[in-house]
Amino acid sequence: MEKRTEKLTKLLDELNLDALFLTDLYNLRYFAGFTGTTGVGLATRKGNFFYSDFRYRSQAEAQVTKMGFEFVEVSRGSLKFVGEHAEKLGLKKIGFEDHNVTFSSYQTLKEVFKAELVPIGDKITYVRMIKSDEEIGFIKKAIEISDVAFSEALKIIKEGVSEKEIAGYMEYIQRKLGAEDRSFETILASGVRSAMPHGVASDKKIQKEEFITMDFGAYYNGYVSDMTRTVYYGNNITEKHKEIYNLVLEAQILGINTIKEGIMSDDVDKVVRNFLTEKGYGKEFGHGLGHGIGLEIHELPYLSSVTHIELKENMVVTSEPGLYFDGWGGVRIEDDVVVKKDGREVLNKSNKELIIIEAK
């Protein structure tokens, strides 16, 4: 694992701070290598410190030391010690992760630190946007696992099987292949429920002549995959089902082909949105085109109107347009894509052409 302490020092210079106080578990994993659930970090020019209690002593010592952090054992919940340590080090301006801190935690920090507290917004997460080759390797492995889970799930789809059963089976296959966990709650929405972009798996049974949308992923070594496929179950597919499916596929490929170094994140979304609007389906595409993935399932940059970030080599983003019709159903297709100097690389290998599973 590469050391990332240089990136922290650079941030201290850029933000004119004496220290960064790290509380977000994803950032602690990224910079300090810590995979537990309790601990905080302090990055300074005089050294980097990670504080946790005796339960994590051996784990944290092994993980953080090789990332350039010193492990400091404190009693559970003892921020007071961190404040005293910061005072001893003479730290006057300390940046904190305001997105990760509740109001009551902030009140505690003000009592604990005898220093000026500076909110740093998204500055730390910006650092995580460009992935190393090692990180991309972990994401690829997570995607390979999800690709297999998808092909295995197709084998158990039949009338009367519940959405939860299919979702559970996919999660089981991912675990069996080495995933630590699912990367988010599996979305499995069939029939009219496929019009719900976030329709998590329910007790609904699969019926003939309906779309089934599967949006799922795996965690591998801390990194996520995120893929969506929509399939048709039945023997009498309508022209409308085919038309909507192929339109979403065309939009999804257009999104992928628009991704390249140098383009702005919101412009990728705009290209696909304009295409679907021209086809008369602008209002049925109600969410952003995609988002960054990495340690988190949703991270910067967002391919949507809300984020204006220039895409750079080795960012990993999704392209996932969808069209949704209340009372009828919907289609979404999603791949994970690495931004390259001269274009992009699609990481998912699963088929995207319309799959029709015949009802026996």
Mean per-residue pLDDT over the chain, rounded: 95
Q: Are residues 66 and 154 in the same domain?
A: no
CB 135 within 8 A of CB 223: yes
Which of 111, 127, 143 is a domain's end point? 127
Which of 127, 156, 179 is a domain's end point? 127
- DSSP category for residue 124: H
Q: Are residues 122 and 184 in the same domain?
A: no
* pLDDT for the residue numbered 2: 58
User: What is the per-residue pLDDT across 64-74, written as a single tens digit (0 to 9) for each?
Assistant: 999 999 999 99
User: What is the per-residue pLDDT across 256-291, written as a single tens digit (0 to 9) for each?
Assistant: 999 999 999 999 999 999 999 999 999 999 999 999
What is the number of domains present in the chain? Answer: 2
- Name the nearest CA neighbour of 324 among 217, 215, 236, 227: 215
- pLDDT category at 335 given cuts 50, 70, 90 is very high
Q: Are residues 188 and 261 in the same domain?
A: yes
- Phi/psi of residue 190, each to 5°? -115, 155
CA distance 180 to 128: 21
Q: Are residues 78 and 137 in the same domain?
A: no
Identify the helix (H) or strand (E) that includes residue 50: strand 47-52
Q: Are residues 79 and 152 in the same domain?
A: no
CA distance 325 to 248: 13
Residues 6+ apart with CB under 8 A from 137: none
Does residue 301 have a cis peptide bond before it, meaning omega lies within 30 degrees of 0?
yes
- pLDDT category at 198 given cuts 50, 70, 90 is confident
Q: Are residues 77 and 207 in the same domain?
A: no
Q: Are residues 97 and 162 in the same domain?
A: no
- CATH number of the domain that residue 24 is part of: 3.40.350.10
CA distance 51 to 68: 14
Q: Are residues 175 and 296 in the same domain?
A: yes
* pLDDT for the residue numbered 79: 87
- CATH number of the domain that residue 171 is part of: 3.90.230.10
DSSP SS3 for 356: strand
* pLDDT for the residue numbered 320: 98
Pull the structure tokens for residue 261: 């170094």
User: What is the per-residue pLDDT across 4-43, written as a single tens digit (0 to 9) for each?
Assistant: 999 999 999 999 999 999 999 999 999 999 999 899 999 9
Span 147-164, average pLDDT: 97
Q: Are residues 200 and 247 in the same domain?
A: yes
* pLDDT for the residue numbered 14: 95
User: What is the per-residue pLDDT across 291-322, written as a single tens digit (0 to 9) for each?
Assistant: 999 999 999 999 999 999 999 999 999 999 99
* pLDDT for the residue numbered 56: 87
User: What percent of the chain is modeled with pLDDT above 70?
Assistant: 99
Enclosing domain of residue 139: 133-357
Neighbours of 75 (CB within 10 A): 9
DSSP SS3 for 316: strand
Q: Are residues 27 and 60 in the same domain?
A: yes
- pLDDT category at 76 given cuts 50, 70, 90 is confident
| Confidence check: pLDDT of 338 > 60 | yes
| Confidence check: pLDDT of 1 > 60 | no
* pLDDT for the residue numbered 360: 82
Q: Are residues 164 and 100 in the same domain?
A: no
Q: Are residues 230 and 295 in the same domain?
A: yes
| Confidence check: pLDDT of 140 > 60 | yes
User: What is the per-residue pLDDT across 81-137, written as a single tens digit (0 to 9) for each?
Assistant: 999 999 999 999 999 999 989 999 999 999 999 999 999 999 999 999 999 999 999
pTM over 0.85: yes
Which of 127, 151, 179 is a domain's end point? 127
